[in-house]
Amino acid sequence: MPGIDLEKLLTRVSKPARYLGTEWNAVHKDWEENPVRMAFIYPDLYEVGMSHLGLAILYGAVNERPGMLMERAFAPGPDLEVLLRENRIPLFSLESRRPLTAFDVLGFTLQYEMSYTTILNILDLAGIPLLAGERTAGHPLVIGGGPGVANPEPVAPFFDAFLLGDGEEALPELLAVLGRLKKEGIINDRHRVLKVLAGMPGFYVPSLYDVKYNNDGTVAAVVPREEGVPGRVVKRVIQDLDAAFFPTRPVVPFLEVIHDRIMLEVMRGCTHGCRFCQAGAIYRPVRERDLSILLRQAEELVRHTGHEEISLTSLSTADYSRVEELARFLATAYAGQGVSVSLPSLRVDAFSVRLAEAVQQVRKSTLTFAPEAGSQRLRDVINKGVDEEDIMAATGEAFRAGWQAVKLYFMLGLPEEREEDLLGIVELARRILDQGRRLAPGGKPTITVSVSSFVPKPWTAFQWEPQDRVEVIKEKQQLLRTRLKGPGLRFNWHEAEVSFIEAVLSRGDRRLSRAIVAAWRRGARLEGWTEYFNYSLWEEAFRDTGLDPAFYAYRRRRDDEIFPWDHLDFGVTKEFLMRERRRAREGLVTVDCRSGRCTGCGVCPGLGVDLILKGGSRDGAL
């Protein structure tokens, strides 16, 4: 094999199967016959990255095309990292075990702000300069995509380019262009290549933009540095999912991963309009897949993977217009093969529970709902679109159907939150527990209340709002902890300091890149894992760089403030988000545009796309 010989090294790590690259359906294309080469890098451990549907989609979309190849790489576990550094072995791809510097493009997915230090660690392990401006003609292009690109500015100095939006069509287009530039002999002219990328729809090249600041530290403008560079970069959108590539031969891992199952994407986008939800804004509009195509894809996936579960994947699967027909057919068709069907996202209504009951007749696992807030007033503020009657009906249906365990997700620190909203979480949990004792078989239900901290995100109606201070969040967690005690009640919470750093990075600007580097140099990495997160490293990093994290997390933005991401365009207009912010303060609910009434978010006319629904109704009896 032309790559690095790691056989002896891998016998010294705890999970060598993470690094073999010989899994079922892994693609090994001839290096010489495919002159444009890309490594897709998920900046976390293999078990997390191999659960990511986006990786499977892009891996297949590139590798099905002649002349180009894609291989995979992940963050090494701490044990392998030590060995790589001790032996001066650069980080490598799985399929060919070539060093990452051998590739033309390194593509990172930005799924979560807490992965940013891991991105730097991967670049360092690969022997690639952290700053894009320090890379030369011999270095790969480093490109980012995923939800973090909604505001990539804190990591902009580390990336040559970002891809906004859907990648199934855009990424092969990029590699085809790079192939042409290779043939023309200008691929080593890095600036010229970046100018070409900046002219492609959906690609943002941060080095071609200047950021200007006001005296108070806020952003004054983000402007192109050269002619021909667009002043505003518009995201890419797959208009018709039926015509888009979808992998039916995904890689099947040797070891257990976070989501060890078939992922069947039924639709993309969500228009419920929860005012804290970034995904619901940046993935608009809703586009559904045709039922016949989903049935064919499911049949091929079962045949090619051997998985024993089909997960119907989307932001809100129960809203797929033919979900009942699809779920019932799949459950019946594959029951004899020992393949079950699951719905990872449930609406808080009785329909969703009856649907789950229809497809999970054998094993009753925990059923999860997300009321998000403890009072109807606050649920209206966030535009959740459910009331207590819906919640009680859904949980009651679950207990009657045989579920013993229910998990409830809530958020602390939401705008307009009051103490009675927190106490409402306790009251609601106890009401559901009492209901379960009456209805659940055996009368011994378990109610788990999990709370996360509100993080103001770009492209949401709450992007102007401050986050609660860490000490305030901890007080609220303690209030709930003391009251959610007793038989049948469990309480989980997220570390407040993690949410604070997430908020800092979520709405940050390019100056924060210095703090990310400082935190990494002090040892920060793999920070999505509780055992690896160390808040003190970030405190020291901010102190070292003279940056005030409170400026980013705790400050309410002015109505007319220019945001670091205002030069990017995900379709939803700032005017619409401001209008939704006002409606939140007034406690007014905005209806889902799938009901037939346009909410005026700007996506469809701005991006030249429309809602794509495939018929059917959710209202039929189950």
Neighbour count for residue 180 (Cβ, 10 Å): 13
pLDDT digits (tens, 9 = 90+) for 379-435: 999 999 999 999 999 999 999 988 899 999 999 999 999 999 999 999 999 999 999
pLDDT at position 612: 81
Entry pTM: 0.95
pLDDT at position 354: 84
Residue bearing tokens 């493009």 = 105
- Integer angstrom CA distances of residue 330 from 311, 324, 336, 350, 518: 11, 10, 11, 21, 50
Q: Is the pLDDT reported for residue 183 higher than 70?
A: yes
Structure token pair of residue 333: 């068709």
The distance in angstroms from the start CA to the end CA of the chain is: 56
C-alpha span between 393 and 397 (Å, rounded): 6
Neighbour count for residue 166 (Cβ, 10 Å): 22
pLDDT at position 620: 37
pLDDT at position 616: 53
pLDDT digits (tens, 9 = 90+) for 2-53: 555 678 888 999 999 999 999 999 999 999 999 999 999 999 999 999 999 9
pLDDT digits (tens, 9 = 90+) for 521-575: 999 999 999 999 999 999 999 999 999 999 999 999 999 999 999 999 999 999 9
Q: Is the pLDDT reported for residue 578 higher than 70?
A: yes
Share of residues in the chain with pLDDT > 90 (%): 87
Share of residues in the chain with pLDDT > 70 (%): 97
pLDDT at position 343: 85
Q: Whose CA is closest to 77, among 101, 49, 111?
A: 49
Q: 451 - beta bridge partners?
A: 410, 493
Mean pLDDT for 55-77 is 98
In a domain, 343, yes or no: no
pLDDT at position 363: 52
Q: Is the pLDDT reported for residue 365 higher than 90?
A: no
pLDDT at position 618: 42
In a domain, 619, yes or no: no
C-alpha span between 7 and 378 (Å, rounded): 56
C-alpha span between 61 and 244 (Å, rounded): 9
In a domain, 491, yes or no: no
**Poorest-pLDDT segment among 175-179, 384-388, 426-430, 592-596:** 592-596
Q: Whose CA is closest to 481, among 381, 412, 378?
A: 412
How does the average pLDDT of the chain come out, rounded?
94
In a domain, 534, yes or no: no
Q: Is the pLDDT reported for residue 118 higher than 70?
A: yes
Give the pLDDT band (50/70/90) at residue 621.
very low
Backbone Cα Rg of the chain:
24
Q: What is the CATH number of the domain that holds 160?
A: 3.40.50.2300
> Which helix H or strand E contains 406, and what residues bound it?
strand 405-412
pLDDT digits (tens, 9 = 90+) for 489-511: 999 999 999 999 999 999 999 99
Q: Is the pLDDT reported for residue 442 higher than 90?
A: no
Mean pLDDT for 342-370 is 79
Q: Give how far the C-alpha of residue 422 lies from the chain's centroid of Cα atoms, to the nearest Å.
A: 27
pLDDT at position 67: 97
State which residues form the domain around 180.
7-226
Q: Whose CA is closest to 456, among 555, 586, 541?
A: 555
pLDDT at position 607: 92
In a domain, 86, yes or no: yes
pLDDT at position 1: 39
DSSP 286-355: PEEPPHHHHHHHHHHHHHHH--SEEEEESSSGGGSTTHHHHHHHHHHHHGGGT-EEE-S---SSHHHHHH
Mean pLDDT for 276-281 is 96
In a domain, 260, yes or no: no
In a domain, 34, yes or no: yes
Structural domain count, the chain: 1
C-alpha span between 43 and 517 (Å, rounded): 16
In a domain, 177, yes or no: yes
